[in-house]
Structure 1
Amino acid sequence: MIDLRSDTLTIPDDEMLKTILSAKLGDDGRVDENGRGEDLSVNELEDIAARLTGKDEGVLFSSGTLANTAAILTYCSPGDKVLVDEILHIYKSEKVVFEKSVGQLIPVLYKLNEKSKPDTQHLRQLMEENDIKLLCIENTHNFSGGVCLDANDLKEIYDLAKEFNIHVHMDGARLFNATASLNVDPKDLCKYVDSLMFCISKGLGAPIGSLLCGNNNFIKKLRQKRKLLGGNMRQAGVIAAPGIHALKHNIEKLKEDNENAKYVSEGIKDLKKIKVQDKVQSNIVMLDVSNTGMSPEEYCEAARKKGLKIRPVLENKVRLVFYNGINRKDADEVIKIIRDIDKSM
């Protein structure tokens, strides 16, 4: 069975797991006057994350959801308005900051343009009409099929936000898939956001964790919010050590995942019933099943019976996500299965 439901399905290799045995452990929740914990492995991972992104500091979280939540609540107070797009992961899947019983923030929805990137004209209009506290963006954009925002896109968005004194937070869960696709240094993208989160437990292959990076003042407040949300951990070096290994050894490998996604999309672009997204940029491929006579759930079940696990997303689409457990032979089999399903319709 080939499983393309998500890149969270990566399994750490032996070399990564061995790093746990030699990790320097301490109480990460017991902090000094600078807010740093006593787990040296966590501190090392956070420092690497900050260097890679060009930010002052990084903070380890157990999940991207918790990291994004803590970041947004650091910027905002109940009743504040936050710019999000309708299918932004923070808004569509995480939601906690917008729950009336929890975060009590107010979402203001901006449009995506024909390239599935934030529509800056609409952003300007919303900024002029509303008292906005925070703008959230996503790179790569999950439910748009892994669309990448390049440095020019980000600069335009960031400069616009600063006209209105609005902070910009980036959900960069798959940031390094974007940098691999665009062939740029992470700093080239991260300099146009005030804070960002990236996951080490997706394509990078670590078992657990996400990093939140930003400037000193923001991070100091963020650490306080992390504690309030129950995000402090003790001997978290067992999480950090695989993360260090991932950042040192696995970033370059993401190019292979992106290439496999593009390879599959090319192999199925001429199907009669399935519409493949126009341009695959990273490790995600979206299939529109509107013309198949099947619901996304039914299509995924048909694929499962042939040996391929995929997942339904949005109203009429299914998603394939490539990662380091999937090789070119698997990609060829995926093409065959999808073509077989198309022929049977």
Structure 2
Amino acid sequence: MLNIRFEKTTTPKPIPGAENPLTFGTIFTDHMFVMDYATGKGWHDARIVPYAPISLDPSAMVFHYGQEMFEGLKAYKTEDGKTLLFRPDKNIERANNTNKRICIPEISESDFLDAIKAIVKEEEAWIPTKPGTSLYIRPFIIATDPYLGVRPSDTYQLIIILSPVGAYYKEGLDPVKIWIEDEYVRAVKGGLGEAKTGANYVASLASQVKAHKEGYSQVLWLDGVHRKYIEEVGAMNIFFKINGTIITPMLNGSILPGVTRNSAIQLCKHWGLPVEERQVSVEELIDAAKTGALEEVFGTGTAAVISPVGELRFEDDIMKISDGGIGEISQKLYDTITGIQLGKIKDEFGWTVEVN
């Protein structure tokens, strides 16, 4: 059991009421979890302290060389008052895989889970209960050495902050419009694409701005070598239903292994649906859309859970999907995953973890 010291805030903030709209990622709870690392000492001094600005040396390595990672998961309140986490083991596994890739010391799974449970338990009153809401959990690690030179840092901080949230996309569960990028590249095999680090997201900003100007919510990336195979959307993995088969790009080293992606694949297989993880070319999608074989498109991610896609655009080709409505599989996946997360549907897979 992780030994955690507590420092309570003396200036608690008002908790948003059910009548207040929750814009994703704009409100933060009273406390945060912090733990330090030093070479020769390991991870130490776990603490829950008042949420406050971070004080770092201007030469801290995170600012100059980008050695940082982050994760995202959620806590939910059930109708009978329990607090549940959804598959935190998968987030912790992915976090440590990211840590290995960018030379950050790993954190034991038990300590990481203890830290998440402790801060969520402390801020339990902040978990919203209105339909479509949850408590977003953002763990992140930053390199803190005051040093100008390219090498792994000798010191780090793990910080976990919490934010009560509503829908990630303003459209909610209404289908979104996705722009398929034809100019910029997000990641290549052997790079950082399968790691959850800020470099992947800052690389997406120019395309995202371009897509927004054209009226599209997100960017769908093509592979960085051939520039023709579908990879992932900026904030989620992507799925296609083509002639009754559920197809998603295979993990290849440049695609983030999403927790919700994995859950959707397991559920579809559990329901007896044919599922393929393979290369999908943009030409295949255009052809399928023209013949009517492209029956459904949806994204999966922690923030949005399931996000139906009503339109794809690649250059001058505009693909309308499901008449702009929500597909049957999208709706079923959303209802099932959120049902498990909220304790309304029996968890046959052992995915939820109670915070107590």
TM-score (norm 1): 0.24
In proportion to residue count, which structure has more strand? Answer: 2
In proportion to residue count, which structure has more helix? Answer: 1
Q: Identify the structure with bigger relative contact order (alpha carbons < 8 Å, sequence gap 6+).
A: 1
TM-score (norm 2): 0.24
